[in-house]
């Protein structure tokens, strides 16, 4: 999420609690209905000469969800193959970034990739996207990643999960979440992609999914070069990589990642998160990489307590960016540590994003994390009374 201190809070019961999310006050669903007796005891049988009751109009049918095939960028919108704008509303499914490297399966909980979870996510009206965090070492089978859960085994599980998602009408967003340079093991988040392995990772992932244009690539979870600063050096590193302030290894910049993906023959939409844990978009447009496919979107993470977590800030750089390119909030929440279960910040944020036709995904479709959890059962999709209820209601509007 946002800082090394905050990142350290993401483990519970030996699991990576990944992002700090937010939970929210329960939003009750009220069903409006009509009909029945007036309560006066008067018979409902019409008498001679009385006017016939006016029949109630038939409810309008719910429109079918727009196709997710052929996703591409036009101006500041993501469109499908028919030219319809696609605004993404979805969830993050944490687990595939940490379970494998911890020798505990491919997803969290183990088996949640096939136990009904996809159908449960799809059952939430308005949800049309799932972000899938990934582990560099597990995909590449390097640096001592457990053999049972890495290489071909890991790749096949990710491919099968993505296939189930897209067949269910859910856009799959693949995110490089955990990585490590050299021979170090990818057991956590780093400031930037590493030149040693991240380019190879994206070359392979792009080749694997280039024929599925319902898949979006999120190049790197949360960059924070130059010691988590929003500086010219941070943005130079972000785009160009190499030797960077605040990073102990050689960096693969966003231009290098975009170039590798396109060289693999993939024209999929690519999301690029800004600096300061993807919260800062101040120089995103100035340092936007070159893309021959013109299919780039800005990835934005917003949590209460971030530098940019108010309407005043959103109306500055984010407003400028969202007017020119699609903006997808791959993560957002009420607080950075998950301890705040109110909805003040997130209500304002989703209002702002809706007004600007922005996309957003909530962390996380997992049962751990207390009020940070969206569901009490991943396979049934039962929303938690706070965060889950808020998001389920919000995206259904």
Per-residue pLDDT reduced to its tens digit, 185-196: 999 999 999 999
Are residues 255 and 308 in contact, defined by beta-carbon separation less than 8 angstroms?
no
10-45 pLDDT, tens digit per residue, is: 333 333 333 333 333 333 322 222 333 223 333 333
Q: pTM for the whole thing?
A: 0.86
Could you read off the pLDDT of 342-358 as tens digits, one per residue? 999 999 999 999 999 99
Report residue 21 as tokens: 């999310």
At 60, the pLDDT band (50, 70, 90 cuts) reads low
**pLDDT value, residue 24:** 33
8 A C-beta contact, residue 389 and residue 383: yes
pLDDT band for position 64 (cuts 50, 70, 90): confident
In the structure, what pLDDT confidence band is assigned to residue 336 with cuts at 50, 70 and 90?
Answer: confident
| Least confident among 45-54, 82-91, 221-230, 346-355 | 45-54
The SS3 of residue 166 is helix
Q: Name the pLDDT band for 335 (thresholds 50, 70, 90).
A: confident
Average pLDDT taken over every residue of the chain = 87
**Hey, which residues does 275 pair with through a beta bridge?**
280
Pairing of strands 270-273, 11-12: unpaired
Token pair recorded at residue 243: 């030797």
Question: Where residue 57 falls among pLDDT bands split at 50, 70, 90?
Answer: low
Dihedral Cα 284, 223, 219, 134, nearest 10 deg: -160
How confident is the model over 224-266, as pLDDT tens digits?
Answer: 999 999 999 999 999 999 999 999 999 999 999 999 999 999 9
Residue-level pLDDT at 22: 34
State residue 114's pLDDT score. 87
* Domains of the chain and any CATH numbers: 84-332+347-366 (3.20.20.80)
The percentage of residues in the chain with a pLDDT greater than 70, rounded to a whole number, is 84
Query: Looking at residue 334, what is its pLDDT?
Result: 85
To 10 degrees, the CA torsion angle through 175, 275, 311, 325? Answer: -60
The two tokens of residue 332 are 């957002």
Quick one: average pLDDT of 109-117? 90
């Amino acid at each position: 999420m946002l800082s090394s201190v905050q990142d350290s809070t993401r483990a519970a019961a030996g699991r990576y609690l990944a992002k700090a999310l937010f939970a929210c006050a329960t939003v009750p669903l009220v069903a409006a209905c009509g009909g029945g007796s007036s309560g006066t005891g008067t018979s409902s049988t019409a008498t001679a000469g009385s006017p016939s009751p006016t029949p109630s109009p038939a409810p309008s049918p719910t429109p079918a969800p727009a196709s997710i095939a052929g996703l591409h960028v036009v101006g500041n919108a993501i469109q499908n193959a028919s030219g319809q704008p696609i605004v993404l509303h979805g969830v993050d499914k944490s687990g595939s970034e940490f379970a494998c490297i911890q020798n505990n399966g491919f997803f969290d909980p183990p088996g949640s990739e096939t136990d009904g979870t996809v159908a449960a996510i799809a059952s939430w009206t308005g949800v049309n996207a799932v972000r899938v965090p990934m582990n560099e070492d597990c995909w590449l089978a390097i640096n001592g990643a457990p053999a049972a859960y890495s290489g071909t085994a890991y790749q096949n599980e990710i491919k099968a999960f993505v296939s189930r998602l897209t067949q269910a009408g859910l856009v799959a967003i693949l995110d490089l979440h955990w990585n490590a340079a050299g021979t170090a093991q990818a057991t956590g988040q780093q400031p930037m992609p590493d030149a040693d392995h991240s380019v190879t990772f994206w070359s392979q992932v792009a080749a694997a999914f280039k024929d599925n244009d319902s898949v979006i690539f999120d190049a790197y979870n949360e960059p924070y070069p130059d010691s988590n600063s929003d500086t010219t050096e941070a943005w130079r590193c972000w785009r160009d990589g190499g030797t960077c302030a605040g990073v102990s290894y050689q960096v693969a910049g966003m231009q290098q990642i975009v170039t590798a993906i396109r060289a693999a023959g993939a024209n999929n939409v690519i999301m690029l998160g800004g600096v300061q844990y993807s919260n800062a978009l101040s120089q995103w447009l100035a340092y936007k990489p070159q893309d021959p496919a013109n299919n780039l979107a800005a990835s934005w993470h917003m949590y209460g307590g971030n530098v940019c977590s108010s309407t005043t800030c959103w109306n500055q750089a984010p407003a400028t960016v969202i007017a020119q390119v699609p903006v997808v909030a791959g993560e957002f929440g009420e607080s950075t540590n998950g301890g705040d279960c109110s909805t003040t910040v997130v209500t304002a944020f989703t209002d702002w994003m809706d007004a600007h036709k922005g996309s957003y995904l909530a962390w996380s479709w997992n049962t751990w994390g207390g009020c940070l959890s969206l569901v009490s059962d991943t396979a049934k999709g039962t929303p938690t009374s706070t965060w889950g209820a808020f998001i389920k209601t919000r995206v259904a509007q």
